[in-house]
Amino acid sequence: MLLALPLLFVAAPIPPDVSRHLVGGALTDGVAYARLRDLTDTIGPRLSGSPGAEAAVQWALKALQQDGLAARREPVKVPHWVRGEESGEILPSPGIVGHRLALTALGNSVGGNATAEVVEARSLAEVASLGPSAQGKIVFFNHMMQAPEDYGRLVEMRSHGPSAAARLGAVAVLIRSLATASLRSPHTGMTSYDADAGRIPAAAVSTEDADLLHRLLQRGPVRVRLSLGCRMLPDADSANVVADVRGRERPEEVVLISAHLDSWDLATGANDDGAGVAMVMEAGRLIASLPRPPRRTLRVVLFMNEENGLAGGKAYAASHQAELAKHVAALEADGGAARPTAVRLRAGDGGVAMLAPWIAPLETFGLHLENGEAGGADIGPLEPASVPLVRVQTDGTHYFDTHHSAADTLDKIDPEELAKNAAAVAVVAYALAEMPETLPRPPRQAPRDTQPASRPPAH
Amino acid sequence: MLLALPLLFVAAPIPPDVSRHLVGGALTDGVAYARLRDLTDTIGPRLSGSPGAEAAVQWALKALQQDGLAARREPVKVPHWVRGEESGEILPSPGIVGHRLALTALGNSVGGNATAEVVEARSLAEVASLGPSAQGKIVFFNHMMQAPEDYGRLVEMRSHGPSAAARLGAVAVLIRSLATASLRSPHTGMTSYDADAGRIPAAAVSTEDADLLHRLLQRGPVRVRLSLGCRMLPDADSANVVADVRGRERPEEVVLISAHLDSWDLATGANDDGAGVAMVMEAGRLIASLPRPPRRTLRVVLFMNEENGLAGGKAYAASHQAELAKHVAALEADGGAARPTAVRLRAGDGGVAMLAPWIAPLETFGLHLENGEAGGADIGPLEPASVPLVRVQTDGTHYFDTHHSAADTLDKIDPEELAKNAAAVAVVAYALAEMPETLPRPPRQAPRDTQPASRPPAH
């Protein structure tokens, strides 16, 4: 078809020397994995406000500057929550000797002690139906998470369960960990207190302990003692790290690739989101080391406070508001470092056809471009400005095995898959920064049922 | 072959009504799983000397008596070790922010605090070669456990590493958990102090933390702070539970089937060894409920203190010394409740040929009789009396995933496999108690290289 020919010339693919540099560099230099190892081994946990978070900011600035990017810190005030000592037990009662519980406070929970009978609920809807029977009790949210896909549907129990229980006069909340594997491992995550409800202590229990509570409740009343030493300190000074490779022709047009630098405190955050940090830093390094920079500016952003407040994502959108119309695409790598499975785009009509030829260098990895959800928590605040969103999708089968638990550590990362993800991010980012025209911008997204706009998203 | 015919008649197999009762009962009554649930849910951890251990003795006596067995407690003095609070961390140092360690004291360890540099050793042989460089250090035993088969070879590091390190002047020991899976889970287990060495605190670290220590040691010196609140209290009064189904013809001849009632304190000991307890209790219940008892006495023994001293196994052998010549076989179920894979016999020549026809009812489960290692820690003290040993072998693939860790909980048990194991134990036990002749007794076993007779075996 002759009509197709001009299109082929318009959408000139990435020059072979560039794709070899990007993919070959990601797969052979070993830099992404070495950086992830540095970040997790020498810094470790990076919860907002902690010494680790500040060390991570310094580390990233230095590394990005070494790579030749113009890197700076952009200030962000962040919640400063600390965990403290925590413990819980099923108390002895007639016929029951008692059990220690494997639990961990939910992020942003108030601390406190509670000793009370347990009442079980299977959903937010069900807790409301408990009515006065929840008064003075510890509400135990149980559920049937079986697969990664269940997370989005069930996470509302963690986010909003404590407020729902508090409205009924409950004294504390336990929630079954949102997890697809467990060796008695509690998985934390942010909870959000509604302004109109009391604040009660809330903790995740391991799936094994949830099963035990459920079985014991079939026998009769169960009393639990809970002690959470966590507390919220005054907001702390922190920062996003922002680093540019200045575009050679249209420097005011920005392709933003990002990840979040903060992690939960229980582990070193290798998958969540050290891996994403390593990927986008690597894409930045490889693009900065090309003989000729791409047409547009490539911007690497390492957000602070994705896990328990999104202060970094909100601060970026606010302080760069005037430039968002020139943000031509945004990517967040925050799905772990397992095998990349697709590249997803959310843009206006025709976007996929425009971008697809440019990611041909990823075909060997089985990666193709598809329309779909492509957002990320930190780049969510860019959606109202209709910034096209792109994502390298990864195999999520085992993501929730370790997510937000003490087991999110470097040994869970496959260096080869991490390298392939970094290569994919580099190619996609280069394509977006180099293609002659910018992508059509998507329509503004309607608020989702499961995540009302009035509530902060849960991660 | 005509010669085989008389043998077929001599070795008359189990009558069909008996095998239906035993196998059908185990697979349909649901009693073994219900008992295991009771034991783990209402009693929980059962470390020697603890309230749980005493509750388990009472519980087992009552259940066995309800089943119609003549059950009694036989007194045993047991070590009484308690864990207390425990923590450890990799200390901050130039370039390292610091890490909390996932660790747990080894059973029988002394408590104490240590803050010192870490030195790594890969084996007992290697630690000896450290010489003066271990003085004042924390010795970190690392190893390459990959598969269940590695346990027997590597466990000497846990058992004897602390004394080996103490001889060099080390102040504490960390050992990589002996485990085939980990979600940051430390696995405990007994350590033994040699009389000629100082007693220093010893803890297991998770495999993830072991990997981290190893990587950090490549960078430079690593200092660790360790605090173990464990201590050994005076020996406690406890008991083995011994329950008989009296033989109808030769009651003085005893077929002993056993498991251990104690567990580690970190979990409810579902696999180790609640499952074995449930299996042998179920075999006892099913045989006791036959219209006609077998020819010989079936004895169910639930040993105390397998995990950290073997006091129960030793006490039984000592107090029953005079009867051991009439112990015609002994079985210990202590390998978890995964799929049964074989029946193993250690007897004199011709034993397998004698017993094999009797276990034909297990052929549907793929179980056949084979010569091989068939001992157990608690029945080890019966070996000098040349008691034939028999074992229902189970699939050990995942046994060390949770072994001695907080994750050894009921949810890891498949009720169907537990039932099949109970059926197998029941058939084997009935066969041994009913077959016309007793098995030829095995020769006394030579002490094994890896487990010198002068040292207690490690579990």
Which residue does chain B place closest to A404, by CA atoms?
A: B183
Q: Are B11 and B351 in contact (CB under 8 A)?
A: no
User: What would the mean pLDDT of A397-417 be, rounded to a whole number?
Assistant: 98
Q: Report, as ranges of residue numbers, the positions in chain B whose pLDDT lies below 70.
A: 1-12, 445-459
Nearest CA distance, A225 vs chain B (angstrom): 17
Would an 8 Å CB–CB cutoff place B212 in contact with chain A?
Answer: yes
What is the gyration radius of the CA atoms in chain A, in angstroms? 23
Tokens representing A401 are 């095995």
Dist. CA B186–CA A129, nearest whole Å: 41
Q: What is the ipTM of this complex?
A: 0.92
Nearest CA distance, A44 vs chain B (angstrom): 7
Q: Give the pLDDT confidence of A289-320 residue by residue, as tens digits.
A: 999 999 999 999 999 999 999 999 999 999 99
**Is A3's pLDDT higher than 90?**
no
CA A109 to chain CA mean position, Å: 19
Which residue bears the tokens 């991490």? A418
Closest CB to B181: pick one of A41, A55, A183.
A183
Closest CB to B97: pick one of A52, A99, A267.
A52
- pLDDT for the residue A445: 67
Would an 8 Å CB–CB cutoff place B211 in contact with chain A?
Answer: yes
Is residue B64 left, alpha or beta, with left meaning phi > 0 and alpha meaning psi from -120 to 50? alpha
Residue type, position B334, single letter:
D
Would an 8 Å CB–CB cutoff place B185 in contact with chain A?
Answer: yes
Which residue does chain A place closest to B43, by CA atoms?
A: A97
Active site residue ranges of B: 306
CB contact under 8 A, A407 and B96: no
Dist. CA B106–CA B165, nearest whole Å: 15
Supply the DSSP string of A165-223, one letter for each residue: HHHTT-SEEEEE---S--SS-----B----TTS----EEEE-HHHHHHHHHHHHHS--E
Which residue does chain A place closest to B42, by CA atoms?
A: A96
Q: Give the pLDDT confidence of A223-254 residue by residue, as tens digits.
A: 999 999 999 999 999 999 999 999 999 999 99
**Is A8's pLDDT higher than 80?**
no
pTM: 0.93
Q: How many CB pairs under 8 A join A and B?
A: 92
Which residues of A are less than 8 Å from B401 in CB distance?
183
CB contact under 8 A, A41 and B216: yes
Q: Are A435 and A358 in contact (CB under 8 A)?
A: yes
Dist. CA A168–CA B89, nearest whole Å: 41
**Interface subset of A 393-412, CB within 8 angstroms of B:** 401-402, 405-407, 409-411
Q: What are the C-alpha distances in Å from B70 to residues B56, B61, B67, B281?
A: 17, 9, 9, 13
Would an 8 Å CB–CB cutoff place A98 in contact with chain B?
Answer: yes
Which residues of B are less than 8 Å from A409 in CB distance?
184, 208, 211-212
- Choose among A247, A328, A333, A236: nearest CA to A293: A247
**Is A413's pLDDT higher than 70?**
yes
Q: DSSP 3-state assignment of B75? A: strand
CB contact under 8 A, A97 and B411: no
Please tell me what DSSP assigns to residue B455. Answer: S
Q: Are B269 and B87 in contact (CB under 8 A)?
A: no
Would an 8 Å CB–CB cutoff place A42 in contact with chain B?
Answer: yes
Q: Are B57 and B237 in contact (CB under 8 A)?
A: no
Q: What are the C-alpha distances in Å from B444 to residues B257, B386, B440?
A: 20, 6, 12
Which residues of A are less than 8 Å from B185 in CB distance?
183-185
- pLDDT for the residue A152: 95
Closest CB to B183: pick one of A37, A215, A405.
A405
Mutate to test the interface with B, among A36, A41, A404 (most CBs of B within 10 A): A41
- pLDDT for the residue A402: 98
Rounded to 5 degrees, φ, ψ at A172 are -165, 170
**Is A15's pLDDT higher than 70?**
yes
Nearest CA distance, B87 vs chain A (angstrom): 11
Query: ∠A429-A433-A435 over CA atoms, to 5°?
Result: 110
CB contact under 8 A, A183 and B405: yes
Dist. CA B313–CA B307, nearest whole Å: 11
Please tell me what DSSP assigns to residue A356. Answer: G
Q: DSSP 3-state assignment of A431? A: helix
Which residue does chain A place closest to B37, by CA atoms?
A: A215
